[in-house]
């Protein structure tokens, strides 16, 4: 029996994504043999409704000196975080000596927006390389895992916070209880915690099984966020849907009764009940969709190979690790993978061992098809690589279902 990390009830498995490697661990050939794998099983808690993975690899294997994910690689995300910061500044950091704390600040893509008006800030980031990149932007960053031990130190150096923010971070923290206990101490009485994470409804609606990988221990919904918040005396006062990461929700939390609750919160709560996200059957039917999607993608790639077509992949994402390992796609079907992150280039994709090449070389690759492993960046990548479609190249996407685009139009 596996128990829920939130309410200790017994969890029900609904989707098995097979043996998976560390999603962001792009590796060298000499590391292939000892590569770490774990079973990626997705579970639902019938009591608190939290969707979570069964087993998570040790944190020091996932976050370290060579963490391969730099948030700042996308210009679209840079704009997104400017807007996020503007909202936080305008609504919650209006006092003369405001202090904002970011958990998991990565390379500082969000936090840098507080520098210019000179707002007191602190980022806490466990991965050394990205923490250094944030410091190079002039930010104050502690290179540590966030833990309750840090709370007295933060309060000693900065005082309590007006806002604690985290983007795609809370879903990475298995010890949610201690995070909420820390928030209770860290936040001023009417201060807010704002967390933006991939949203259950978008994953369900798109059949986006690629949101599940080692780092994403939870997939939040309003119903599960309500449960955790209530457990610690907080409540959700705003829920703003975002387009990022294929669909995310920005939850604003504060101590119960401190602020008025935005009507959107009720709207999303009701929507989730209408869609039956409180019932196991919905997850079982989602699992069937994912399995069909896997079969369809593999069948398409095999068919193209048998026709002698060259298919490459684009964007060496953590999501792509789940896709290639769940579907069983290796270099025999996809000979190479293009990506703009220098740290990934010259290495091989986790588990599937597809060589990663510099994205600048994509223009010269004669491939007829390209599998886009970053569907969340489709607009930006299609614009950057428009010559591919112009010369007759076709994009393959695996969400919302497996389909092929020719000149922007779906052909299968």
**Which residues contribute to the site for ligand TMP (CB under 6 A)?**
73-74, 315-319, 339-341, 359, 374, 376-377, 380-381, 384
Q: Which helix (H) or strand (E) holds 156?
A: helix 150-158
Q: Kindly state the smallest distance separating residue 387's Cβ from Zn ion, in Å.
A: 49
Which of ligand TMP, Zn ion, none is residue 4 near (CB under 5 to 8 Å by kind)? Zn ion
| Listed residue (284, 259, 271, 104) closest to 199, CA to CA | 271
Distance CA 125, CA 63 (A): 9
Q: How far apart (Å, rounded) are the C-alpha atoms in residues 45 and 9?
A: 7
Under the binding rule (CB under 5 A), the answer on residue 343 touching Zn ion is: no
Of these partners, Zn ion, ligand TMP, none, which one is at the site of residue 317 (CB under 5 to 8 Å by kind)?
ligand TMP
Are 226 and 50 spatial neighbours (Cβ–Cβ below 8 Å)? Answer: no
By the 8 A CB rule, do 286 and 15 touch?
A: yes
Q: What are phi and psi of 74, to 5 degrees?
A: -110, 130
Pair of tokens at residue 311: 């298919």
Query: 45 is in the binding site of which of Zn ion, ligand TMP, none (Cβ under 5 to 8 A by kind)?
Result: Zn ion
Beta carbon of residue 311, minimum distance to Zn ion (angstroms, whole number) = 41
Left if phi > 0, otherwise alpha if psi is -120 to 50, otherwise beta: which for 143?
Answer: beta
Could you tell me whether strands 51-53 and 369-372 are parallel, antiparallel, or unpaired per DSSP bridges?
Answer: unpaired
- Taking the least distance from each CB to ligand TMP, the nearer of 261 and 389 is 389
Instruction: Give, in order, the Cα–Cα distances in Å from 135 to each of 99, 128, 153.
Output: 18, 10, 19
Q: How far apart are the C-alpha atoms of 42 and 283, rounded to whole Å? A: 10
Instruction: Count Cβ atoms within 10 A of the Cβ of residue 371 and give its class: 0-12 exposed, 13-18 middle, 19 or more buried.
Output: buried
Q: Which is nearer to Zn ion, 9 or 289 (CB)?
A: 9
The entry of Zn ion, ligand TMP, none near residue 6 (CB within 5 to 8 angstroms by kind) is Zn ion
Please identify, using beta-carbon distances, which residue of 268 and 362 lies nearer to ligand TMP: 362
The distance of closest approach from Cβ of residue 296 to ligand TMP in the complex, given in angstroms and rounded to an integer, is 22
Residue 219 in contact with Zn ion, rule: CB under 5 A:
no
Which residue lies nearer to Zn ion by CB, 178 or 289? Answer: 178
217 lines the binding site for Zn ion (CB under 5 A): no
- How far apart CA 67 and CA 341 sit, in angstroms, is 11
Query: What are the C-alpha distances in Å from 290 to residues 18, 198, 301?
Result: 13, 17, 17
Min separation Cβ 228 and Zn ion, Å: 9
Of 44 and 362, which has the nearer Cβ to ligand TMP?
Answer: 362
> Which position among 15, 22, 45, 316 is part of the footprint of Zn ion (CB under 5 A)?
45
How many residues at the interface with Zn ion, by CB under 5 A? Answer: 7
Which of 224, 340 has the CB closer to ligand TMP?
340
Min dist CB 12 to Zn ion, Å, is 10
Closest CB 225 distance from ligand TMP, rounded Å:
22
Kindly tell me which of 191 and 381 has the beta carbon lying closer to ligand TMP.
381
Shortest separation between residue 221's beta carbon and Zn ion, angstroms: 12
Q: From the CB of 68, what's the least distance to ligand TMP, in Å?
A: 7
User: Given the rule CB under 5 A, which residues bind Zn ion?
Assistant: 4, 6-7, 9, 45, 47-48
């Amino acid at each position: 029996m596996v128990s829920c990390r939130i309410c200790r009830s017994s969890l029900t498995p609904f989707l098995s994504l097979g043996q998976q490697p560390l999603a962001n661990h792009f590796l060298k050939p000499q590391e292939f043999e000892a590569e770490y794998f774990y079973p990626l099983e997705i579970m639902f808690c019938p009591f608190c409704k939290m969707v979570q993975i069964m087993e998570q690899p040790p944190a020091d294997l996932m976050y370290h000196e060579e963490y391969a994910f730099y948030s700042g690689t996308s210009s679209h995300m840079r704009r997104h975080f400017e807007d996020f910061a503007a909202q936080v500044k305008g609504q919650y950091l209006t006092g003369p000596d405001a202090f904002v704390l970011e958990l998991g600040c990565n390379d500082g893509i969000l936090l840098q927006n507080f520098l210019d008006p000179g707002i007191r800030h602190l980022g806490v980031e466990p991965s050394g390389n990205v923490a250094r990149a944030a410091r190079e932007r002039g930010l104050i960053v502690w290179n540590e895992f966030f833990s309750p031990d840090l709370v007295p130190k933060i309060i000693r150096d900065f005082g309590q916070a007006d806002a604690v923010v985290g983007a795609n971070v809370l879903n990475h923290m298995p010890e949610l209880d201690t995070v909420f206990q820390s928030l209770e101490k860290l936040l001023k009485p009417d201060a807010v915690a704002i967390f933006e994470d991939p949203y259950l409804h978008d994953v369900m609606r798109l059949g986006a099984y690629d949101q599940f990988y080692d780092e994403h221990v939870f997939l939040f919904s309003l119903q599960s966020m309500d449960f955790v918040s209530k457990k610690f005396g907080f409540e959700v006062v705003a829920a703003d849907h975002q387009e990022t990461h294929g669909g995310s929700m920005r939850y604003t939390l504060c101590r119960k009764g401190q602020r008025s609750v935005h009507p959107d919160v009720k709207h999303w709560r009701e929507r989730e009940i209408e869609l039956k996200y409180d019932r196991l059957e919905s997850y079982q039917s989602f699992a069937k969709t994912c399995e069909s999607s896997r079969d369809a993608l593999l069948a398409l790639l095999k068919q193209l190979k048998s026709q002698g077509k060259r298919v490459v992949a684009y964007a060496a994402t953590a999501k792509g690790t789940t896709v290639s390992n769940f579907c069983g796609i290796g270099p025999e079907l996809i000979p190479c993978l293009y990506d703009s992150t220098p740290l990934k280039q010259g290495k091989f994709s986790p588990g599937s061992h597809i060589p990663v090449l510099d994205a600048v070389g994509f223009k010269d690759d004669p491939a007829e098809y390209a599998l886009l492993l970053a569907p969340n960046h489709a607009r930006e990548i299609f614009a950057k690589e428009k010559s591919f479609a112009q010369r007759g190249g076709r994009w393959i996407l695996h969400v919302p279902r497996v389909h092929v685009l020719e000149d922007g139009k779906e052909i299968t």
